[in-house]
Chains A and B, each alone.
Chain A
């Protein structure tokens, strides 16, 4: 029981990070029907941007951790958004409406490019940051085992919840969100009705990247380390989350992320830590094969 509760807390924390990344996949797929293969690497770039700004804030400007983190969060969202904007503009937009495989190959190339660019620019070694929010809030004790929730876990959950709330507001209540949903339904019609489709798609990429940047900041805070190759596996897991939730569905992405986080921690705790990535990939395969619409996706009727 005590182990289970502890893993539940850990799993939800990890799941929050996956959920934030998953939204980027699901939004891009929803609007242009493309698996943005490079999104995991955008998340990694976001982590590096956050790391560098965090160093600037603390080492150069001497800010305390909490204000530094808040500034880093905002800067990270802006600069990662710019990265994804540029990526979409350069590598995907010219291929829109062309051969279907071309954007996918381009995205795979972009993924390779990003991780190796970061490797060249920042070096191949792990980048450690000093531990933050190390205190743990004890919840209860059972059988001599203290179940606690780390301050950083609280921070992650709160930041995730706030980001999602803002994001939800933007998508549901603003003209931008409406334009986005219109483009999802029918791009041609949307453009006939005066919606700037290109700009809407660009903004979708920017928003996805901004959430990935939040995930990047949380990732560094949680693990205390980031590496140029950290985009691939979290990226695949977040994509799994998006698929599990039903690709195209925003609440689905978040719930899928939480589920994947829970499954991963539970699997590690109760089965074998070695095979935790195998578990994630198996869930991906099983979901796609047996439940391709995911938990909250719209069923697709084959048109004859």
Chain B
């Protein structure tokens, strides 16, 4: 129905109000149907734990009216535009050259900027909840980008490797090191970081091997299943992982052997500063920044190496790859293993930053969120991942901050309960708006004479 209207709108740019009203009326009617039981009635337990129904017909009317006028507004905005295909988004060359260095300079200065603006205590939230949180997801996005964006292997269980990294660090740092070399306690993070990455990479190979011949959605579902199996085992194998309770008192990273505490050998005392928790937060910020940049640097390098080109070729056409003598099994496994390794690094950092981990942190939703960042960013695009991570993760975090909404909707209004609702909605809307992601052009990995970006419509998304 919409297609027919779009076509007629192209012939005749004038806004057809009657049709729009009719369409909006229909949409409002559908909204009424959708909201009849589930919005109009609310079930609540009474004192004796029985369900009672409450009615909210005012909300139903409001929803229908909103849909009606929203639909008209959309029709008005789209008038005459339907036929023109949306142009792919290409960064202007100046911005493409100066953008990344400028962004990097901003990120490096960010903690100090926040410190100057908000003072030591006020800035923890900004550096930790926004800075570190977003950087973790950028790193995870870049890691998963190798698997999904470059090699075209759809992985819905990426969080499993994040969990392997986190639990590796947590278990080694709380059990193995104190039992064997307690003197190394302060160095635990730095020792475990590579170990976590390697273990996660090994798990990438173990889980990757059986699923390599699967394609597309099947691969996605199996990786989801593996992710859930790992989480369920972590929940149920209590002796190993602490079950639901998780693992607490995980050692925090030290400043290369100097702990961040109020003692005499602590960071503040050694550097003659007044003790404040902000130093550790700032230090963690730079650690994850360096880890993320390392991920980016290695990704960029890998793309220009034969293995990276083979990944992209695999995404384009697996059969052609095999006809050219490329061992597709090994190529896919390296993508899985390297992607998993970065997930493991990020997991190790996550455990060290939180000091506490439990299976709650490694649910399917996390995998979905990381995948959404990669797909929304535009598959294979490092800059796209950054923008998408800021939008999605930063957007969710900012919903915590919206206290002023209480003044609009009354004191009972709790913005945080809408976070995931808005997140889900955003995922759907962003796909409708840009199905190929924000940056859908592809940069060639090698240039003979002239660098040209490749339009996203030519780039394949992989078959498995």
Contact = CB atoms under 8 A, between A and B. Distances in A.
Direct contact between A and B in the complex (CB less than 8 angstroms)? Answer: yes
Interface in B186-239: 210-211, 213-214, 216-218, 220-222, 224-226, 228-229, 232-233, 236
B417 A120 contact: yes
Q: Which of A33, A111, A112, A239 has the largest number of chain B CB atoms within 10 A?
A: A112
- Which size class do A's interface residues fall under? 35 or more
A259 to B, nearest CB: 17
B431 A109 contact: yes
A101 B45 CA distance: 41
B424 to A, nearest CB: 3
A55 B379 CA distance: 48
A281 B232 contact: yes
Nearest to A240: B225
A113 B421 contact: yes
A130 B236 CA distance: 31
Interface string A119-136: 111110101111000000
B14 interface: no
Contact of A102 (B154, B210, B224, B435): B435
Contact of B432 (A79, A106, A111, A289): A106
Contacts of B428: 90-91, 106, 109-110, 113
B254 to A, nearest CB: 37
A95 B432 contact: yes
A51 B42 CA distance: 10
Interface string B361-381: 000110010011001100100
Contact of B218 (A75, A99, A119, A288): A288
Nearest to A283: B225
Nearest to B210: A289
B424 A112 contact: yes
Interface string A13-57: 000000000000000000001110000000001001101110110
A143 interface: no
A102 B217 CA distance: 12
Contact of B365 (A104, A112, A288): A112
Contacts of B171: none
A52 B432 contact: no
Interface in A211-243: 232, 236, 239, 243
A304 B222 contact: no
A86 B30 contact: yes
Interface in A270-297: 274-275, 277-278, 281-282, 284-285, 288-289, 292
Contacts of B425: 109, 113
B43 A105 contact: no
B280 interface: no
Nearest to A303: B319
Contact of B233 (A236, A278, A292): A278
Contacts of B216: 100
Given A112-B421, A119-B421, A278-B233, 4 more contacts: A59-B53, A104-B154, A122-B42, A278-B232
A171 interface: no
B36 interface: yes
Interface in B278-304: none
A292 B218 contact: yes
A82 interface: yes
A267 interface: no
A27 to B, nearest CB: 15
A285 B424 CA distance: 26
A79 B43 contact: no
B332 interface: no
B39 interface: yes
Q: Is chain A's binding surface mostly helix, strand, loop or mixed?
A: helix
A106 B427 contact: yes
A49 to B, nearest CB: 5
Contact of B236 (A33, A122, A274, A282): A274
A282 B34 contact: no
A53 B40 CA distance: 11
Contact of B229 (A56, A75, A91, A285): A285
A122 B45 CA distance: 11
Contact of A56 (B33, B53, B217, B461): B53
A108 interface: yes
A232 B43 contact: no
Contacts of A35: 217, 220-221
Interface in B380-436: 417-418, 420-421, 423-428, 431-432, 435-436
Contacts of A195: none
Given A112-B427, A289-B214, A120 B418 contact: yes
Nearest to B428: A109
Contacts of B365: 112
B437 to A, nearest CB: 8
B51 interface: yes
A56 B53 CA distance: 8
A233 B341 CA distance: 28
A98 B220 contact: no
A79 B51 CA distance: 21
B222 A120 contact: no
B38 interface: yes
A28 to B, nearest CB: 11
Contacts of B431: 91, 95, 102-103, 105-106, 109
B41 interface: yes
Given A101-B154, A120-B417, A281 B41 contact: no
A33 B218 CA distance: 11
B225 A285 contact: yes
B372 A122 contact: no
A128 B51 contact: yes
Contacts of B226: 281, 285
B399 to A, nearest CB: 12
Contacts of A122: 38, 42-43
